[in-house]
Amino acid sequence: MPSGRVHEVVNLIVLPPTLYALPNGWSKLAFAAGYLVGTFWLTPDLDLATSRPARRWGVLRLLWLPYAWLFPHRGVSHRPLLGALTRLLYLAALGGLGLWALDRLGYHWQPSFTLGRSWLSFFAGLLLADGLHLLLDALTTRRSKHRRR
């Protein structure tokens, strides 16, 4: 299995040609932002409490400990689309809990969210970064299995 650094380097190498090939109408900035968030902060390896992405969250990495407990390494968190969705839903639940707590304290904030083209570009970038992570894991795992035979 590749190290976190290898995942990051491969993802960074793939980003420029992907941005170049991105069809017109897609927000390249939003796509790149989602891709980088998926590469450095919301990776499948958040299910490991001591991973590089978890450490990048600083003290907030404590928020990801329940996620790591709910989703053991290489389980659901390492499934295409499903893993990214679990992380996004978990993050949304934490945000909702934070908004609820602020509301109870008397701070009323009404977030507005429209799923526009920029958000779709962001999610596409995040999903591609996630997919590359999983592909690299699968390729290196398969290669090491063949080497052992």
Taking only the tens of pLDDT, the chain with its 149 residues reads 667 788 899 999 999 999 999 999 999 999 999 999 999 999 999 888 788 998 999 999 999 999 999 988 878 888 999 999 999 999 999 999 998 999 999 988 777 777 788 999 999 999 999 999 999 989 886 655 545 55
d(CA 71, CA 35): 22
Q: Can you give the pTM of this predicted structure?
A: 0.85
Number of domains in the chain: 1
Q: For residue 131, what are the domain limits?
A: 4-148
Nearest to 92 by CA among 57, 134, 63: 63
d(CA 96, CA 52): 26
d(CA 128, CA 147): 28
